[in-house]
């Protein structure tokens, strides 16, 4: 199910992630860093999308692990 987040807000979040990655000055960035940046932006954008992503990204098995 699609979440009610505007394209503009998604593009702004993506731009912020790209800016943070470029600011590292590194040619390569660990996927862990990218995942954490994505989770941070999703948390600001849409709580449900954040929870969905985090549950898969961090492989949570139950609610207690999420807390």
Using CA atoms, how far apart are residues 64 and 22, in angstroms rounded to an integer? Answer: 35
pLDDT at 43: 93
pLDDT at 2: 82
pLDDT(67) > 80: no
pLDDT at 21: 96
Using CA atoms, how far apart are residues 28 and 34, in angstroms rounded to an integer? Answer: 11
**Whole-model pTM?**
0.76
* Neighbour-count burial of 42, counting CB atoms closer than 10 A to its CB (0-12 exposed, 13-18 middle, 19+ buried): buried
* Neighbour-count burial of 51, counting CB atoms closer than 10 A to its CB (0-12 exposed, 13-18 middle, 19+ buried): middle
Percent of the chain's residues with pLDDT above 90: 58
Q: Token pair 């009610």 is at which residue? A: 4
pLDDT(18) > 80: yes
Using CA atoms, how far apart are residues 60 and 8, in angstroms rounded to an integer? Answer: 30
């Amino acid at each position: 199910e699609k979440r009610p987040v505007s394209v503009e807000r998604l593009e702004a979040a993506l731009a912020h992630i790209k800016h943070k990655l470029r600011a590292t000055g590194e040619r390569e960035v660990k996927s862990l860093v990218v995942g954490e940046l994505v989770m941070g932006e999703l948390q600001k954008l849409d709580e449900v999308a954040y929870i969905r992503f985090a549950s898969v990204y961090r492989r949570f098995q139950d609610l207690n692990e999420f807390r």
